[in-house]
Amino acid sequence: MTRKKVKLAYITNDSARKATFKKRKKGLLKKVSELSTLCGIKSCAIIYSPYDSQPEVWASEHGIQHVLGLFKNMPEMEQTKKMVNQESFLRQRIAKANEQLKKQQKDNREKEMTEVMFQSLTGKSLHNLTMMDLNDLGWLIDQNLKNIHRRIGQLNKVAQKQVQGEPAAAKTEGMVQQPHDHHQKTPGFEMNMDTMQRQQWFVDMMNLPQENNMGFGGDEMMLPFGDNSHNALWSDAFFP
């Protein structure tokens, strides 16, 4: 069973606040000790509280003075470079959460436009898409086309190397080259035939009657997220 997440707010109950302080103080001092031992660093902890007449410290008095001396000898800019209080710490957490939110929104938008792209391939209409939707869809299609052309170029280079390498290997091994078989297919030829077959399949699919087309609803394009009004899901486009 997972522990309940603690709400980071001031504890108004006196007894509960005192019990939490003692438990957290013990854990903090333990963590400082472990950090110093495991990583071999100089550290200290000084805790003032209304529950104790004397401050709680970790490490010896000499060790604390040594660490504080090192800190005071640093330039003022270096001292405050990574220094945070409660407000600045929360600001950092909020900024990090906002960055994660933007990244997740962009990922969701890309998945949404990908599904719209697949729906359009089955003959669904694009009339209900906004200008921002069309711009994002066009950008996504361009990126996919670039990836396809890059992959085709890589496969063509591999096929050319294989075709050029076969005669050289046969000559090196002293093999007698057999008469050329006109029915034998080269890798490049097979690749072109495969591409032509896929293109013909796409043309046949687009020529099917409308009632046989696959889709996610009627003839109008259905956006995967949000409603299908002309109001954009986000105010700004996610893609260039």
Does pLDDT of 197 surpass 50?
yes
Q: Please state, in angstroms and rounded to a whole number, the distance separating the CA atoms of residues 180 and 200.
A: 30
Q: Please state, in angstroms and rounded to a whole number, the distance separating the CA atoms of residues 117 and 236.
A: 20
Strand-pairing partners, residue 220, are 125
Kind and range of the H or E element at 37? helix 14-39
Of the listed ranges 96-100, 141-145, 166-170, 203-207, the least confidently predicted one is: 203-207
CA distances from 112 to 104, 115, 202, 216, 233 (A): 12, 5, 22, 13, 11
Does pLDDT of 220 surpass 90?
no
pLDDT tens string 130-139: 899 899 999 9
Residue ranges of alpha helices (H) inside 173-223 are 187-206
Read off φ and ψ for residue 55, nearest 5 degrees: -70, 150
Q: What is the pLDDT of residue 240?
A: 55
Q: What is the pLDDT of residue 27?
A: 94
Percent pLDDT > 90 in the chain is 34
pLDDT tens string 22-40: 999 999 999 999 999 999 9
Of the listed ranges 154-158, 160-164, 189-193, the least confidently predicted one is: 189-193
Q: What is the pLDDT of residue 234?
A: 42
pTM above 0.85? no
The mean pLDDT of 209-230, rounded to a whole number, is 46
Sign of the torsion angle spanned by Cα atoms 133, 135, 138, 139: negative
pLDDT tens string 57-81: 888 888 889 999 999 999 988 888 8
Q: Please state, in angstroms and rounded to a whole number, the distance separating the CA atoms of residues 133 and 222.
A: 12
Q: What rounded mean pLDDT belongs to the chain?
A: 77
Other C-beta atoms within 10 Å of 139: how many? 16
